[in-house]
Amino acid sequence: MAFCLKGAFAIKIIRLRSRLMIFLMLGLFALTIAYFCYSVYIYGGRWVANPYNPRINNQKRYVKMGQVMDRSGVVLAYTGTDGKRHYNSSEKIRRSVSQVVGDSDGKVSTGVDTFHAQYLLGFKTSLFERVRDAVTGQEQEGDSLELTISSELSGYITEQFPSGKRGAVVVMNYKTAEVLAMVSLPQFDPVNLEAALGDPEAGALMNRCTQGLYPPGSTFKIVTMISAVDHLSNLDDFAFDCTGYYPVGNYSVTETSAHGIQNLRSAFANSCNTTFAALSQQLGYRLIGDTAGQLGFNENFMFNDMIVYNSSYPIDDLSPEDLAWSSIGQGRVLATPLHMALIACTIANRGVFKEPRLLHRIITAGGSDRILPFVAADRSVITYTTAERLEQDMIDVVRNGTGTRAALSNYTVAGKTGSAEVSNDKSVDAHAWFVGYVTDSAAPYAVCVLIENGGSGGRNAAPLARKVLQKAIQMKL
């Protein structure tokens, strides 16, 4: 009898374990299916846009590729009666928007012609539309795209950019998160792609706005300042005597001249490296790193309208000197110009981060509007009061500090300059930066200017930012 009871109990245990194993396997299977669906939803467009995807070339044989236009309806790319891809008749326009639009061969994989091939080549066309075309004998045609950029503003930026220099300029409407211009230099002419391919060192096929990773220099002090406002008490009592020299660890942070006694606002306006290096030792890696993370550093940007490389704030080296350099945007800190423009937009929007938009309209072959792709919900990444404080500090930079050359006569500009060193002995000119925006909500324009080896941000990037903002205001984009 005892033997039978033990046997029955053992069978129950085996059955229970079998059921648990089945439930576990079903759960894992469900998770696999869920992840597959998630990957298709998030990465599907990127898979389709891969230039090595054979479906793209196959689709081009049967589908007429749609047009690409700017926000004013200026045609930037179209497919002719010869079945070939053609571009705007103006060489200036072609070059100014070259990295945004891309090319017919997919050499610029981040360009609209490739990245948004799912629309342009009709992958999003419904079954009803295909049946209708088959019945009517209509040639299959992909959707046309109206972008948020302005070809006129892009051409103006190209003309104003320092001759012979490389760099990037991003202009955004911070209310709508629309990208009004993404100009990357050097540029290429899509009707003569061989010239760009023959000079790969020039890097004309790379969009420096979204793919260029640079030390942000003193523009990163915006991040350090936010971290200080959020985490340190008695900021109004903060004072530091800048002697032009601050030893930290095995190195020293230096200035070209001593600023004397600085509070946080004056140190920010004067872009005092030694003050911020000292401030970093109070904050530490965790607090600055947390703030940088909130603002998008080390984040995998999965924007629907464009590919943007990930900015980084490394925290694997916890040395005091690495902390000091990182707090002023040097060392191993890297950012794209578009990301820095987004940070300016976030402050202008009182701490709310918005996903950037490049698609303004998607127009079917029949002339109706297709629903724009989903964008992530706006999210608050810094507090309203912190953003207000930062705006006042950035206004002071333009009124009284290193950014006076960015000032406009009838509008208030908030901004931050940067001169990012790229060599230890300063034998190579620094990258010149300016990041800022117009505070008037009637002219909601943000700008980021980067001039590679352009020298001083205040002397060279700020004046260009002023011209670009003036042009955007004049155009009423």
CATH code where residue 385 lies: 3.40.710.10
How large is the C-alpha radius of gyration of the chain?
26
Whether residue 240 lies inside any domain: the answer is: yes
Whether residue 469 lies inside any domain: the answer is: yes
Query: CA neighbours within 13 Å on the CB side: how many for 367?
Result: 0
Its domain, for residue 308, covers 217-358+372-475
**Which amino acid makes up residue 280?**
S
Whether residue 142 lies inside any domain: the answer is: no
Instruction: Give the count of domains, the chain.
Output: 1
| CA-closest candidate to residue 262, choices 295, 281, 238 | 238
Whether residue 337 lies inside any domain: the answer is: yes
Whether residue 403 lies inside any domain: the answer is: yes
Whether residue 72 lies inside any domain: the answer is: no
Whether residue 227 lies inside any domain: the answer is: yes
Whether residue 16 lies inside any domain: the answer is: no
d(CA 408, CA 121): 44
Question: Is the Cβ–Cβ distance between 170 and 71 less than 8 Å?
Answer: no
3-state secondary structure 403-461: CHHHCCCCCCEEEEEEEECCCCCCCCCCEEEEEEEECCCCCCEEEEEEECCCCCHHHHH
Tell if the pTM clears 0.85, that is, is over it.
yes
Per-residue pLDDT in tens (0 to 9) along the chain, 477 residues = 554 555 666 666 777 777 777 777 777 776 666 544 444 444 555 555 565 666 677 777 889 999 999 999 999 999 999 989 999 999 999 999 999 999 988 889 899 999 999 999 998 776 666 666 656 656 789 999 999 999 999 999 999 999 999 999 999 999 999 999 999 999 999 999 888 888 877 899 999 999 999 999 999 999 999 999 999 988 888 889 999 899 998 888 988 889 999 999 999 999 999 999 999 999 999 999 999 999 999 999 999 999 999 999 988 877 899 999 999 999 999 999 999 999 999 999 999 999 999 999 999 998 999 999 888 999 999 999 999 999 999 999 999 999 999 999 999 999 999 999 998 777 899 999 999 999 999 999 999 999 999 999 999 999 999 999 999 999 998
